[in-house]
Amino acid sequence: MKVYIITAGQYSNNRICAVAEDPEKAEILRQIYDRKTGHDHVEIREYDTDDYDPEYVGRPFYEVWLDDKGNLMLCDEQDDTCWYGDMTYHFRRADNHFFITLYADSEEAAVKIAAETRAKALAEKLGL
């Protein structure tokens, strides 16, 4: 089943205004909250309640930071995965550091996967 979450605000000021099961109703609610709150960041986020991979259920979720040379800066198990919104790791670059969130069986495995992901991404960037 799909649900549509209407949110307003940004970053730490982001909040849920309403939830709808119908996309048309969600758009009506988005317009109402857009006028009501005066925020320019009222949006609809679509989630499929059946969209999860059972392989990840019960596994720890880690946040891993690597510096620009690939050295480990932080590996921290997260209590709440809702903020990340997906069930697999993703990769992005911020301030010359690599920030990766992923499911893994242990902290050691999380660091290994993060390092491999970083190396693969750098190789792709260089066309190797």
What's the pLDDT score for residue 49? 79
**Ordered mean pLDDT values, 10 residues apiece, the chain (128 residues):** 89 86 94 79 85 70 86 85 49 68 88 90 79
The answer to whether 3 and 19 have CB atoms below 8 angstroms apart is yes
User: Do residue 17 and residue 72 come from a single domain?
Assistant: no
> Quick one: 66 and 30 in the same domain?
no
pLDDT for 62 equals 87
Same-domain check for residues 73 and 116: yes
Same domain, 38 and 83: no
Same domain, 43 and 63: no
Residues 107 and 70 in one domain: yes
Q: How far apart are CA 76 and CA 82, in angstroms?
A: 16
Contact 26, 44 (CB under 8 A): yes
44 in the same domain as 77 = no
Same-domain status, 58 and 120: yes
Helical residues (DSSP H) of 39-127, grouped into ranges: 107-125
Same-domain check for residues 39 and 99: no
In sequence order, which residues have a C-beta less than 8 Å from that of residue 38 and are 6 or more positions away? none
Query: How many distinct structural domains can be found in the chain?
Result: 2
Given this model, what pLDDT does residue 117 score?
87
pLDDT for 25: 96
Q: Do the beta carbons of residue 56 and residue 103 sit within 8 Å? A: yes
b/e per residue, 43-65, with b = 16+ CB within 10 A? eeeeeeeeeeeeebeeebbbbbb
Show the domain range for 115: 54-125
Statement to judge: residues 60 and 23 lie in one domain: no
Residues 61 and 117 in one domain: yes
Amino acid code (one letter) for 124: E
Residue 109, helix vs strand vs coil: helix
The verdict on pTM exceeding 0.85 is no
